[in-house]
Each structure stands twice: as C-alpha cells, then as structure tokens.
Structure 1
C-alpha cells in the first residue's frame, strides 16, 4: 500500500526545538527528497558518521517527524511522517514564538548560504543562457495590514501546489530539474517597535 502521509501542523515549542539543529534540518530535507533512507544512507549523503546520523534520526523520531518504513531485508529505513510541515507558532505562547523564530532563523541562514554559493558558482554553469531567466533575487517594500500580509503569506505557501505530483519522478516532464524557492516575508521590525511605543500611554500628561 502506498505511503500517503498527512500534513504536519503544530505550534508545540518542544517539537520545534527538536528540529532546530542544522543537521536535523538537512536530514529532513533528505528524507523529503529520498522518500525513505537508512541511517547509513543519510550518513553517506550528509558526510556524517553512522552513529551521529542515528542519534539525530532517533531525536527526530521521538519528536514525531519521522517513523520506521517497511524493512528492506536486514535494513531498517526511516521515512517522513508528513508530506509537509506547518510550524507556525501559537500567538498566545511566548515559548512557541521563541522556538519558531529560532528555527526560522536557522532555515534562513542555511538557505541564504546555499543561494550565495549558487550565485558564485553560476557563471561556470549558466553559459548557455537557458536557465538565466529562471534565476532571480528580488526584494520589495510595501505597506499592508496584518491581514493583507497574512494573505500574501498564504498565497506564497500555495504557489507551488501545481508541482506537488512531481515528487514522483514518473510525473516529471523531460528537461525538468529540481528547483529551489527561498522567500521571506515580514513586517518591518522598526515599525513594529514604533507602533508598540505609540500605543503605550504617556506619563507626561497633566493630572
């Protein structure tokens, strides 16, 4: 029977803390791409010892991110329990917000470093020009309410739904390669701070 995992959705700070490690983020990406893998396969792919890979796999399993797949003879592979992960924090739980922010910061650092490495290597690999229009680095400034910005976030989240079935190699058209999308969206921190200051009562009013 085909493995059809559900979407993961949690704001549990302990669960997010379990993922907030550079190697465990890499392991989950590998799991998403491979479908399933043994500790030895993960170790080889990520240039780690089998013991270290096994340690981090067990931590991910205890937090509910992965589970055992069907045995392959004597091999015992792991697989992701979910087809995607929504780890948006609970707005009423400061620890949930803190853990989600830390996890997000690690992902941004990793993806920014990956993109910078790609751009530096690109001149040697984009000489034909075919893929140049597919590469973009863009920034934008705009003014929106919290509700409008949340709508943009949802639109970004669903942007790639039309490619979801291509996780199966049989559904990929000729010439398709793995693409990477890295996007960020956030209200300006200075304006948030200024808005909070403006909403606080003044102490210099007349009594």
Structure 2
C-alpha cells in the first residue's frame, strides 16, 4: 500500500471532474437525489451492486416500504434502473444506471437551490467514502490478508497546475479507467484470467482540486 508526497488519507467527492461522455444531472433529477436516504441508497447500489428494497432496508435500518418508495423516485429520473435479469417476480432488484451519476453542471450551480442540493449530495458522497476508507484501514488486513493490502493504493500528491492542466488531469484519469476496463473485459473473454471467484469489490477514490487555504497565505 503506497502513499505519495504527504501522509493524507483521501476521502472523495463524486461529480467534480466529469467523464467526457457524461452529462451532469438536471435540476429535477438533482432535487430527487438530494435526500439523505436516497444518497445512502445510491451509495449502497454503487458500492456493492444490485439489491432489493428489503436488502437495502436491512442494511440502512429502514422499513422496506420506505426504501421501496425512494427507489421508485430515483428510478423516475433514471438514476437507478430495474435489474430485470435478477427479478424473481416476488421482489424487484435495482442497480445503478449505466454511467453512474454526475453533479455540478453549470445550469444547476447558477441557482441557490441547485447549489444547496449539490452540496447535500456531495457531502453524502464524501462521508460515505470516508466511512469506506476508515473501515478498510481498520479491518482490511484481517479481512483480505497482506497481498490485497499490498495491492491497494492510497495516494495523495500535490502539484502546481493551471486550470487547463487540472481539467486535462481529470480527462486522463477517466481515460485510464476506460482503457483498463476494456482491457480486462477483453482478457476475460479470451479466458486469459481467472473469473469472478478471485474478485473483490473495489472502491477507487481520487481527488484533485485547488487548495482553498492557499488563498489565505
């Protein structure tokens, strides 16, 4: 496990730099997501994959009626979609919509309501990422063993960048993810790697932003 430059553990806010092919949520969808329980539901589906209302209710300490209602509201705005392949007829399964969720569009940030909703969602993402990272730091070695800890990376670095360079950094990061995803998918299709029994669910946290405090120096 490596840490570059400064011993700072990153959290992570989803939706800052956007993937080039993804559009930020519009105001209606942003309002729909800006509810603490809906952000938690989205985090669960994003972090751990498809689930039912009952499964989410048990994890989050809510009633299944409540999680079912909020799932339907998220689905209305295509933030999540029904996982028809898992449906049994008794209970519906839900998963994140392809492409995930991006917030912070110029149109929504022009209004106080849009900024408030974006802040609520971003803080929910950040707190979730911090919880996931804290759990990994506390229990990762006992849960996964040394090899998985060694393969993991917690990296914080600092650079002097222009606005254009910061935007380019984000684009290159997304391009790297897409390139590796396609590479691994292709290798699996050819039978060159071991299949899902060897996999663990992995969360990738990444931050790149100008430090506000530097303006006070």
The alignment's TM-score, normalised by the length of structure 2, stands at 0.67
Offset of 1:81 from its aligned partner? Answer: 3.6
Worse-superposed segment, 107-116 or 65-74 = 65-74
| Aligned 1:54-73 pairs, distance under 5 A | 54-68=68-82, 70=84, 72-73=88-89
Q: Shift of residue 134 of structure 1? A: 1.8
User: Structure 2: which 5+ residue stretches go unaligned?
Assistant: 1-20
1:31·1:80 contact (CA, 8 Å) conserved in 2? Answer: yes
Residues 1:102 and 2:125 are matched in the alignment: no
Distance in 1, Cα, partners of 2:166 & 2:32: 29
- 1:177 alignment counterpart: 200
User: For the Cα contact (< 8 Å) 2:53–2:64, is it kept in 1?
Assistant: yes
Residues 164 and 13 of structure 1: CA distance in aligned 2, closer, same or farther (over 3 Å): farther
What CA distance in whole angstroms lies between the structure 2 residues aligned with 1:44 and 1:14?
Answer: 29
1:74-153 → structure 2 map (5 Å cutoff): 74-90=90-106, 93-95=110-112, 96-125=114-143, 127=145, 129-153=146-170
The secondary structure found in structure 2 opposite 1:182 is coil
Stretches of structure 1 lacking an aligned partner (at least 5 in a row)? 1-6, 195-207
Larger Rg: 1
- CA 122–154 in structure 1, closer or farther in 2 if over 3 Å, else same: same
1:8 is displaced (CA, Å) by: 5.5
Stretch of structure 1 that moved more, 62-71 or 139-148? 62-71
Aligned length in residues: 184
TM-score scaled to structure 1, two decimals? 0.69
Cα RMSD after superposing both structures: 3.3
Distance 1:30 1:110, change over 3 A: closer
Shift of 1:67: 4.0
- Deviation of 1:103 after TM superposition, in Å, equals 1.8
